[in-house]
Amino acid sequence: MVYRVVGGLVLVAAVCGVYRGALRGAFLFDDLATVVNNPSIVHLWPLVGSGSSGGPLNPSENHPASARPVVNLSLAINYHFGQFDPVGYHAFNIGVHALSALMLWAIVWRTLLLGYFGGRFESTAGFLSFSAALLWALHPLNTESVAYVTQRTESMMGFFYLATLYASLRYWGAASRLSRSGWLILATVAGMLGMLSKEMMASAIGMVLLYERTFVRDSFRAALRQSWPLYMGLALEFVPAIAINYHGPRTPLAGFHLGVPAYVWWLTQTEVALKYLKLAFWPWPLVIHYEVPFLRTISDALPWLLPVGLLILVTLVLVWRRTSLGFVLAWFFAVLSPTLLIPLLGETMAERRMYVPLMAMVPWVVVAAYVTLQWIFQVGPKGVESLWRKEFSDHGKSVTAKDPRPLLVTMAGTLALVAAFGAVSIHRVAAYKDDLSIWEDAVRYQTDDPLVQVNLGTSLGKAGRTEESKQHFEKALELDPNHSHAHYNLARTLAEEASSVPPDKAKILLDEAISHYEAAVRTDLLFPDAEYNYGLALASARRPSEAIEHFEKAIATRPDFAAAHNNLAVTLAGLGRAAEAVPHLEQAVRLEPDPESYGNLAQACAFAGRRSDAIAAGEKAIELARQRGKTAFADELDVWLAAYRVRDEQPAR
């Protein structure tokens, strides 16, 4: 018992020590949507709200936590206690990771004591399982899932994946009907919570079944006959997931409708699968975005297709023979199968997807190393037979480990790897300080990735380093002349420059910006932000009719684009088309009720001859402006409204 307590404290301390640098990391990328601009997390009750803000268990659409209400609830709890202080969010992620390490330790320990291994690890199971859990906990591939707030979707799903397997293990070994029922309920609940954290949980029921058939029973039929209530319970995890996605996916970024042919994706994923395996054993360099060009023909994919095909064949044979390695390889492919099979736009490969596969791979490698050392220290036919006959099993024959050297060397080697992995993870966590540091780190290793160049340029622009940002946008266009976001961001930078230079230079810059906006919308037909900013640039260049066309395209793609409605209306009113402008301004204030939009609505209504509406909108604009401390704007509107009232009340001559 003391060993378990001390081991648990060491595991938690190691995780906290490595990840303490993440506590002050800024919100990054998707965090803006899932945390900063997520109205469903700003209150804990009601859990299932309605309207645009929803509730913690009914998040709004189109962000990474949309179809993952359990994750969204965790964000709401963080917000309740710390609002937008990132420390609490990061501490939660670190805590989930530490709990997963403890859970993995318990599962591997119990697995090594199963009859499948014939008592071979009776005296070493605790040490080997602890080493495996510690090594997994500090593996650098896990840093994205821990240091990046939004990727708690992966770590929370991973914890519930382990919890489902652990509860199933206890279910199979329960001594009483009451205990068995309790573990059945816990396994079912864990499965549901995992599915409501991330859809990759779907493979858990299959992996639990394969685990039972491999390590506990001798066939799938026996497993289903003995444990059918468990699998009925685990199948229930699909019910809430289907209900959430009944009307279509909440985050429509995956599927075969996104323009990537299925066979191209599958061919490309053969290369990705091998890259994942390489990073599992040699986790360097690590980057936030991996540029993996699509493989469009079998001949292009052949160097990766052949080894992956062979690996799948080996996996099937080893699974059929009930080997532990077969289970580990099946776990690898099964957990990754959703992203290996279904196209995910813009993210061919991601480190976080290895969070759960490593849970099986790392323990197997640690135990395999120990068994290999046993053979090395007792070379002979019996040693060879015990090593390879069933990897770690002697078909029920008891094997005792009297020689301590294999365990000592295994522990020493593991500790050396732990130290190395810990150092790499600390270095990697430092890169997650803010978006500029993560892209500066990425560009060191992905110089020829246009997306990395664009995102680094964007981050430099936010930091006020305009000239450097332009260089990276231009570099991205050298790499990919049709990169819409490179054109768009370069255009925005040029347009902002044009607003602060003399008129003759401003015209040159604005014309150049317009040409890049045109390229951006030509290469991406569904790019509302580019259409909107293109419209702003055309309006600044005194080309209002063309500007109107692009504001309308932005709205057609994104009907709730309040700024586009507002600027379209202002441009229409400037052309004397006030009556057409009013509906767009009314929509703008419904979407974003700010004083400027209400002020524009008041003036448009006045030009359109809608006196009462103009006065009402003007009064609302003044009220909002004073509430938000915009005193000068409120005073200006007050003067205009007073003059309008007087002018309108004068009798006609």
Does the CA dihedral 505-510-512-513 come out positive or negative? positive
559 and 462 belong to one structural domain: yes
Report the CATH number that the domain containing residue 549 is assigned in CATH.
1.25.40.10
DSSP classification of residue 20: G
Of 177-181, 501-505, 578-582, which gets the smallest average pLDDT? Answer: 501-505
Residue 309 CB-density burial (10 A; 0-12 exposed, 13-18 middle, 19+ buried): exposed
- Is 133 contained in some domain? yes
Q: How confident is the model at residue 48 (pLDDT cuts 50, 70, 90)?
A: confident
147 and 17 belong to one structural domain: yes
Q: In degrees, to the nearest 5, what angle opens at C-alpha 68 toward C-alphas 63 and 69?
A: 110
355 and 440 belong to one structural domain: no
pLDDT of amino acid 50: 67
179 and 236 belong to one structural domain: yes
Mean per-residue pLDDT of the chain? 91
Q: In degrees, to the nearest 5, what angle opens at C-alpha 583 toward C-alphas 580 and 588?
A: 125
pLDDT digits 0-9 by tens, 258-304: 778 999 999 999 999 999 999 999 999 999 999 899 999 999 999 99
pLDDT of amino acid 381: 46
Q: Higher confidence at residue 65 or residue 274? A: 274
Q: How confident is the model at residue 195 (pLDDT cuts 50, 70, 90)?
A: very high
Count helices and strands (H / E) in the chain: 29, 0
CA distance linking residue 219 with residue 224, whole number of Å: 9
Count of domains in the chain? Answer: 2
Q: What percent of the chain has pLDDT over 70?
A: 94
Q: What is the mean pLDDT of residues 462-481?
A: 95
263 and 392 belong to one structural domain: yes
Task: Tell which of 425, 444, 465 closes a domain.
Answer: 425
Instruction: Report which residue type is found at 360.
Output: A
CA distance linking residue 26 with residue 431, whole number of Å: 11
Q: How many CB atoms lie within 10 A of CB 83?
A: 11
- Is 590 contained in some domain? yes
Residue span of the structural domain in which 197 resides = 2-27+84-244+253-425
Structure token pair of residue 246: 């009944």
CA distance linking residue 618 with residue 599, whole number of Å: 6
Angle of helix 204-211 relative to helix 152-173, nearest 10 degrees, comes to 30
- Is 42 contained in some domain? no
Task: Tell which of 596, 621, 644 closes a domain.
Answer: 596
Structure token pair of residue 515: 């040409």
Task: Tell which of 546, 576, 596 closes a domain.
Answer: 596
Q: What is the mean pLDDT of residues 561-575?
A: 94
CA distance linking residue 98 with residue 137, whole number of Å: 7
417 and 482 belong to one structural domain: no
368 and 449 belong to one structural domain: no
- Is 145 contained in some domain? yes
pLDDT digits 0-9 by tens, 89-98: 999 999 999 9
281 and 368 belong to one structural domain: yes
509 and 385 belong to one structural domain: no
389 and 497 belong to one structural domain: no
CA distance linking residue 39 with residue 592, whole number of Å: 13
CA distance linking residue 494 with residue 536, whole number of Å: 13
416 and 361 belong to one structural domain: yes
- Is 612 contained in some domain? no
- Is 58 contained in some domain? no
Q: How confident is the model at residue 51 (pLDDT cuts 50, 70, 90)?
A: low
Q: Residue 380 above 60 pLDDT?
A: no
- Is 450 contained in some domain? yes
370 and 276 belong to one structural domain: yes
Q: How confident is the model at residue 366 (pLDDT cuts 50, 70, 90)?
A: very high
Question: What radius of gyration, in Å, describes the C-alpha atoms of the chain?
Answer: 30
- Is 605 contained in some domain? no
